[in-house]
Structure 1
């Protein structure tokens, strides 16, 4: 039975649009703007770093075939394409390494679908850095609240929540930049709501990064169409056959708009120190700790046992990955390379590394057990050596979580590491400096000129 709070008569879309329309930049806490900068630096680095991936070449081939105008920048490529394909490509590249940010409560990656849509529109319209950051905080808020409304049934059904909730967030952000009236703002959300994208079946393939890219593209298109008067339902989120009720078993619609402005979801954003699925990070963290503390040699290991949260097996249970992308969704591979290399960066998830004989041999010694009492960012890792000795490590909170957050300096080091094959050291430092004062930028041409 539906609760009164979630009744079909509640005007959720209208309430959200009113909040978005009435929120001013000056009302945001300074901390939210600073977190938006951290999100931008992290997102920008992984987007530029993965811009040369073969999947990008395939989508660029399509963009050229359909003849898109040279309007806005494709990060890391030194070329331009039309607004929609740029949003698609920049959203894709930022998720290829699976190294982008995460709101852990729903496993939503907020920057990958939202920043590409905002930056495409901002570059085209000549907006400011302050405009971009303001729109991102609001877009992140909408995407995060939408995800909370849908979670967990939506995710367990098999939807990729970054693609679905991210589309709504991207549309909300661009509509704010356009200054749409409330009627057209609701149309933007309605158009976006009819375009959910992303199935979890695609994890480990080129299609997974396509999800946030398509979300960015769809959200941008929704806002542009609405701005020209393209109509949609005014109750797209809450209607009986609307977004939330179709995509989730038990949508908590009140979470989309209640308590607006009391806190900001961007403040919960977390950043990955490792280039793999977020739920593998506790195991990686624990394996690196054991390696550093005990100097474990692989040939001395008899077996490795992991006790993990159920979501780890659900999302990253690939026992025998065959490609680098599949390796990102294998807690077995992640643990093995962490023990062998003491890291889990981009180079640990190449096709060659996944097929390395030593890695494969160590993966076969790993056993994973679900322990429902554990939290998502916890793990117990136990290594039994051939001489019978047993050493173990319990990770209470993995590095990169909101409890053990990455520092600004660590984010800078990550940016430098992931962009090293694309940008000169001079460009790297100039971009870092620009991001930290992004709210002061009156034009973005100099920023985009450095992004390749």
Structure 2
């Protein structure tokens, strides 16, 4: 009865039942997600998928955020999910390393634009969809992830289906079928990390989830036990059977309240190491020729997810803790520029990269690391990061998120639009017509610029 119970909880949810803390964090999540979506909108991978939509003849129903084009709702969900994850700068629920916004907000906003939904509709659907995705993630983590599934893609479709079911006010049976349709279509292999296919995962999850809800609304059926059955989602894709995590204490607190935001444009498990090397460099201003070696001690996922030593592209660099530390040593940051092809192939950074070594400590948390720098003259400098900046225990402030939004959107939208979007999102629950929101996401340059 797990899927049935989850469906009944989803359909019983309402904006009025959601606490202020969850609504506040949903707004912060939107600001962060929208910034990276607009910032990633000009990436080559987005252009390639957009070209596919044009070959197919996609109807202009919803915006590709940060671009002038409109496509159908499904392709808009795919493209906006892709663009928001392409720079690996989006949010994370660290307990399962799920990126909650990338598969859910693209579906919600694409549907909201075409169906003329309100700001409250958007926030409610996002919170409910994220809750569903996060709880399913908790039921299959960690074995699901270690088997090779990219959890953002695999459970994200279920979250998107729950979100769109909420917006469509589907009944319990229809929501049950929407979850089942999404559950049968998991997306994402970790083998794809460092390629264009990695950010495709949340986009495809958003697309799958929306399609699942639309099909369920037409009476398309699925198993009524898609999550808990012997050959259902949880048992087929993991060694866990933590079914209680899916429904336990639903509505008492919300998983979105635990969301964390990235100050660095790389795999989240690299952030403690980046934080540590920047702290050392700010204090001592070391030169690369002084350094004999740099030792990073961290959680096992640092090696599992970001252990790439031989890299040639910026996308690969995001999954190389060696590059992350070397680039941050020189630049005192790890933003979008530090993960370009040029930066990855810079001779000075490549040279320092070879001096970085990794030590795994299974007692460390994902947001914890120790950075030790040994100089040729015998001096050693050590910095321990207990909670990396951006983690739940050391969160980015509202001002830092606003500054990030302004920075990552670059020249795609102008300063006036940026300031207006920041204000609009802060008061999104008061907005009945989202037309201005989508207009503000449209770029200031012509299509030829991109």
Q: TM-score, normalised by structure 1?
A: 0.97
Q: Equivalences for 1:264-413 in 2 at 5 Å? A: 264-413=254-403
Q: Find runs of 4+ consecutive structure 1 residues off by over 6 angstroms.
A: none
> CA separation in 1, counterparts of 2:55 and 2:241?
41
Q: Equivalences for 1:67-146 in 2 at 5 Å? A: 67-146=57-136
1:24 equivalent in alignment to 2:14: yes
Structure 1's unaligned 5+ residue stretches are 1-10
1:159 equivalent in alignment to 2:149: yes
> CA separation in 2, counterparts of 1:111 and 1:288?
28
Could you say which residue in structure 1 is the equivalent of 2:448?
none
**Cα shift at 1:255:** 0.7
Could you say which residue in structure 2 is the equivalent of 1:212?
202
**Cα shift at 1:407:** 0.4
> CA separation in 2, counterparts of 1:164 and 1:251?
17
1:416 equivalent in alignment to 2:384: no
Stretch deviating more after TM superposition (18-27 or 83-92): 18-27
Q: Equivalences for 1:222-301 in 2 at 5 Å? A: 222-301=212-291
**Cα shift at 1:261:** 1.1
1:74–1:86 CA contact under 8 A, matched in 2: yes
Q: Which whole-Å deviations, capped at 9, do the CAs of 1:285-326 have from their partners, x for residues lacking one?
A: 000000001111112111111111111000000012110000
> CA separation in 1, counterparts of 2:350 and 2:114?
48
**Cα shift at 1:115:** 0.2
> CA separation in 1, counterparts of 2:436 and 2:13?
29
Q: Which whole-Å deviations, capped at 9, do the CAs of 1:361-414 have from their partners, x for residues lacking one?
A: 000011111111211111111101121111110111100000000000000000
Structure 2's unaligned 5+ residue stretches are 443-450
Counterpart secondary structure, 1:281:
helix
Could you say which residue in structure 2 is the equivalent of 1:12?
2
Could you say which residue in structure 1 is the equivalent of 2:447?
none
**Cα shift at 1:421:** 2.5
> CA separation in 2, counterparts of 1:145 and 1:187?
18
Q: Which whole-Å deviations, capped at 9, do the CAs of 1:119-174 have from their partners, x for residues lacking one?
A: 11111110000100011111110000000001011000000000011110000000
Q: Which whole-Å deviations, capped at 9, do the CAs of 1:320-361 have from their partners, x for residues lacking one?
A: 211000000000000001111000000000000000000000
Q: Which whole-Å deviations, capped at 9, do the CAs of 1:204-243 have from their partners, x for residues lacking one?
A: 0000000000000000000001011111111111111111
**Cα shift at 1:258:** 1.5
Could you say which residue in structure 2 is the equivalent of 1:3?
none
Q: Which whole-Å deviations, capped at 9, do the CAs of 1:408-443 have from their partners, x for residues lacking one?
A: 000000000000131111111111111111111101
> CA separation in 2, counterparts of 1:56 and 1:307?
36
Q: Which whole-Å deviations, capped at 9, do the CAs of 1:87-146 have from their partners, x for residues lacking one?
A: 000000000000000000000000000000001111111000010001111111000000
**Cα shift at 1:251:** 2.5
Q: TM-score, normalised by structure 2?
A: 0.97
Give the RMSD, CA atoms, in angstroms. 0.7
Counterpart secondary structure, 2:325:
helix
Stretch deviating more after TM superposition (283-292 or 415-424): 415-424
Stretch deviating more after TM superposition (372-381 or 91-100): 372-381
Counterpart secondary structure, 2:231:
coil
